[in-house]
């Protein structure tokens, strides 16, 4: 389960922010995960909740928003929304598409408590 590794990376980012910004804990953590990121959202949430006790994330509300997948159609030269990498262009039916969005996992928002 690579979601535990991803959760560890998120925790490291938050701890680095804590060292830099000097806050005591996180009230809310919001992540954005692209539909094509290959992340199992329930497993990621579980991993974050499992790592949280005793850390700056303990008691934090965890939100994970799913970003739609986008692709560039080489045939019709348009950006389109897709559900899977194997989809054809929904506008012209071409199979010549390149994923252009929805592959990311990013820390979108961090609401902190006792920021000094």
Average pLDDT over residues 52-76: 96
Q: What is the pLDDT of residue 106?
A: 96
Q: Using one digit for the tens of pLDDT, what is the confidence trace for 5-28? A: 999 999 999 999 999 999 999 999
- Whether 116 shows a pLDDT value over 90: the answer reads no
- Whether 115 shows a pLDDT value over 70: the answer reads no
100 and 67 Cβ atoms separated by less than 8 Å: no
Domains of the chain, each with CATH number or no CATH: 3-68+102-113 (3.30.2320.50)
Return the closest-CA partner of residue 82 out of 90, 74, 94: 90
Residue 13 host element (H or E): helix 3-21
Cα 29 to Cα 25: distance, rounded to the nearest angstrom = 11
């Amino acid at each position: 389960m690579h979601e535990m590794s991803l959760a560890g990376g998120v925790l490291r980012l938050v701890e680095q922010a804590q060292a830099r910004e000097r806050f005591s804990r996180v009230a809310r953590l919001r992540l954005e995960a692209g539909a094509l990121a290959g992340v199992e959202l329930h497993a990621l949430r579980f991993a974050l909740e499992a790592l949280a006790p005793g850390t700056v994330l303990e008691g934090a509300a965890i939100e994970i928003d799913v970003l739609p997948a986008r692709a560039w159609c080489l045939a019709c030269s348009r950006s389109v929304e897709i559900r899977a990498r194997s989809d054809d262009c929904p506008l012209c039916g071409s199979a010549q598409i390149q994923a252009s969005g929805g592959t990311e996992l990013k820390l979108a928002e961090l609401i902190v408590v006792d920021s000094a």
